[in-house]
Structure 1
Amino acid sequence: MHSWKDKFTEKIANFFYEPSSSSSSSPSSSDHDQTSLPLKDESYLSSILSFLFPSQESISKEENDYEAGSLKIIKCKNSDTKDENPDLGSGKSTSSNEVFEDAIDLKTPKKHVHDLNLDSVFISSNLSQFFLSCLPNIVKGCKWVLIYSTLKHGISLRTLIRNTFEVSGPCLLITGDNKGAVFGGLINCPLTPTPQRKYQGTVQTFVFTTLYGAPTLFRPTGANRYFYICSNDMLAFGGGGSFALRLDGDLLTGTSGPCDTFGNRCLAHNEEFELKNVELWGFTHSSRFR
């Protein structure tokens, strides 16, 4: 009894067999066998069957040849499994996960986005983008920390000054009037109150306002170095003509006017106004591993 493979081989041979002219004239069985002999050659049929029904050994060989070709398949491994190929740049081996993480760090640009969930009365999305563009580079990308707010800490300039000793570096004072204008300025913390009018600050100090449509920034003009004054009963920005912004000790009222230090216009709707709230924000560097 012939097996199914023998029958299939015979059908394949008959399919490819085309009788020649000599065989058609003498259709004897011996001639037929001689004519079809090349097609029924065992090695030839074996190659056909190997193509149609590849063995497991040939499949494994093809997979190995594929992996050894020009395409390299990167497989993920556990962090404790070391890559057999050393890092060409550093001359040391690394795990596949480390290589994968490095690839993400190189291809994914880091962009620091301001936290819009801050507990602030004044900071909107538009104002947040404005601060990102005008704040010093040393605080860009830092975490915002609320140092003082009249809604949380009470109405007291002394409390505001005392809380500034918790941080160091630039801090942003934000306040506003009851008619909707938001304004303030940049100071350095901790604040040091002086009994006399002694100006402090650096050329990084500025004042701003939203009174004139889009947020407007006023930086030092170089006319003087009257950046800001801090005492137990007053906090004021600028000088020469009038204060650009002055907050009274009770943090309930204030004044604003043009000054030579910043070349600004009035920051509030009126030169004298009632304060809606006062906030002081500091900046700290947060770790990427937290």
Structure 2
Amino acid sequence: MHSFRDKVTQKLSHLFPNSSSSSPQGSPYSKEDKPLSSYLSYLIPSINFDGSKTSEHQHDPKPIQSASSRYSYEDFDYQDVPSENYSDCIPMSNSLDSLKDDSINEDHTSRRSSSSSEVFEEANDQQIPNTSKKFALNLADDSTFISPELYEFFESCLPNIVKGRQWVLLYSTLKHGVSLRTLIRKSAEISGPGLLIVGDRQGAVFGGLLDCPLKPTAKRKYQGTHQTFVFTTVYGEPRLFRPTGANRYYYMCLSDLLALGGGGNYALCLDDDLLTGTSGPCDTFGSSCLAHSPEFELRNVELWGFTHASPFQS
């Protein structure tokens, strides 16, 4: 019984009689000495005579496949692709993000430059000589002791009720003579805190805050409140001493003596002639000697009060 291949071979022999002319009958070789099986392997897998596919009966070598059917997703290994090949293929979202980053960086750069310019301006302001601050001194009269630095120090130490007000010179030994009685009388020209400023011959400036008008007492009796303080520049920079709470010996005013503090020594004591004074360690303010020496000669004595700059202000 002939096989399917033999039947087809016979049919092809009748259809292509020339293919077997040079070979014995029934030989499977063609004119070019090619076996007819090579034609069969090409024709039979593709189509038979009625146009239907015959792949289900075919066991010969696999048919030719298209490029799309030869490759599958498993054949690709994306890790083998060099990353630099995609350097020019930046996604739009990434490019937008990079533009945003650039704009943010530029914004930060501009902010840094602006902040740097502000720091530069502040540094320039700090380099301005302190003498330029004298125009900001709110003093109604000239002072022997008050410098721009000392004025700024006082403004930070004074009670809030008098901050920003105009300073008025109530008493000065250079203008009113050397007399404690005159100082007490001139202190009545204004009510409220009064700042006593004195200095020794060695250049130290010191004093304290009192209540005006001063009210002399017949006996040694202390007055004042916890707002009373003493200060000195004997250490170089101005230094403030407020009440420690050890006692309430704020200040004492007699007809022949004016003293601040107590408990061991007066922080500051002035005689009635306002020519000499004493200073020592004081428990009330926790201060040591305010002058260069415990006993000193006074260079000048000033008493300042505070008032509104304009009469229309209350």
What TM-score do you get using the length of structure 2 for normalisation?
0.55
SS of corresponding position for 1:282: strand
Structure 2 residue 282 is the aligned partner of structure 1 residue 259: yes
**Post-superposition CA distance 1:158-191 (Å, at most 9, x none):** 0000011110000000001000000000000000
Change (3 A) 1:289 1:163: closer
| Aligned counterpart, 1:120 | 143
Cα distance in 1 for partners of 2:300, 2:145 equals 9
The equivalences for 1:29-44 within 5 A come to: none
Change (3 A) 1:116 1:198: closer
The equivalences for 1:134-173 within 5 A come to: 134-173=157-196
| Aligned counterpart, 1:247 | 270
Cα distance in 2 for partners of 1:117, 1:167 equals 14
On the 8 A contact 2:211/2:224 being kept in 1, the answer is yes
Cα distance in 1 for partners of 2:172, 2:141 equals 12
Cα distance in 2 for partners of 1:178, 1:263 equals 24
| Aligned counterpart, 2:306 | 283
Aligned-pair distance for 1:289? 6.3
The equivalences for 1:7-86 within 5 A come to: none
Aligned-pair distance for 1:199? 0.2
Change (3 A) 1:288 1:157: closer
| Aligned counterpart, 1:74 | none
**Post-superposition CA distance 1:205-263 (Å, at most 9, x none):** 00000000110000000000000000010000000010000000000000000111000
**Post-superposition CA distance 1:9-44 (Å, at most 9, x none):** xxxxxxxxxxxxxxxxxxxxxxxxxxxxxxxxxxxx
On the 8 A contact 2:264/2:283 being kept in 1, the answer is yes
2:206 counterpart (162, 177, 183) = 183
| Aligned counterpart, 2:222 | 199
1:273 counterpart (279, 285, 296) = 296
| Aligned counterpart, 1:232 | 255
Change (3 A) 1:284 1:213: same
Change (3 A) 1:288 1:161: closer
On the 8 A contact 1:145/1:281 being kept in 2, the answer is yes
Q: Quick one: which amino acid aligns to residue 281 of structure 1? A: W
Aligned-pair distance for 1:118? 3.9
SS of corresponding position for 1:171: strand
Q: Quick one: which amino acid aligns to residue 221 of structure 2? A: K
Change (3 A) 1:150 1:227: same
1:131 counterpart (148, 154, 159) = 154
On the 8 A contact 1:245/1:254 being kept in 2, the answer is yes
| Aligned counterpart, 1:174 | 197
Percent identity over the alignment is 72
Cα distance in 2 for partners of 1:213, 1:253 equals 22
Aligned-pair distance for 1:125? 1.0
| Aligned counterpart, 1:212 | 235
Aligned-pair distance for 1:113? 4.4
**Post-superposition CA distance 1:92-112 (Å, at most 9, x none):** xxxxxxxxxxxxxxxxxxxx9
On the 8 A contact 2:139/2:167 being kept in 1, the answer is no
| Aligned counterpart, 1:5 | none
Aligned-pair distance for 1:117? 7.4
Aligned-pair distance for 1:196? 0.7
Structure number, greater radius of gyration:
2
On the 8 A contact 1:252/1:275 being kept in 2, the answer is yes
On the 8 A contact 1:157/1:249 being kept in 2, the answer is yes
SS of corresponding position for 1:137: coil
Which segments of 5 or more consecutive residues in structure 2 lack a partner in the other structure?
1-134
Q: Quick one: which amino acid aligns to residue 181 of structure 1? A: A
On the 8 A contact 1:114/1:141 being kept in 2, the answer is no
On the 8 A contact 1:243/1:256 being kept in 2, the answer is yes
Change (3 A) 1:243 1:151: same
Q: Which of the pair is proportionally richer in helix?
A: 2
Change (3 A) 1:117 1:223: same
Which segments of 5 or more consecutive residues in structure 1 lack a partner in the other structure?
1-111
On the 8 A contact 2:140/2:167 being kept in 1, the answer is no
